Amino acid sequence: MRIELNGSDQEVRDGVSVGELVRSLVEAPERGVAAALEGAVVPRGEWDATTVEEGQRLEVVRAVQGG
Partner 1 sequence: MTDLLELGGRTWGSRLILGTGGFRSHEVLEHALVASGTEIVTVALRRVDPRQPGSVLDVVDRLGLFVLPNTAGCYTARDAVRSARLAREAFETDWIKLEVIGDDRTLFPEPVELVEAAETLVDEGFVVLPYTNDDPVLARRLEAAGCAAVMPLGSPIGSGMGIRIRTTSRSSPSRRRCR
Contact pattern from residue 6 through residue 45 relative to partner 1, giving x for each residue in contact according to CB under 8 A and a dash for the rest: xx-----------------xx---xxxxx-x--x-x-xx-
Rounded Cα–Cα distance for residues 14 and 54 (Å): 8
Residues sharing a CB contact under 8 Å with residue 58, sequence separation 6 or more, in sequence order:
3, 4, 5, 6, 18, 21, 35, 36, 37, 52
- CB of 55 or CB of 63, closer to partner 1: 63
**Which positions lie near partner 1, rule CB under 8 A?**
6-7, 25-26, 30-34, 36, 39, 41, 43-44, 59-67
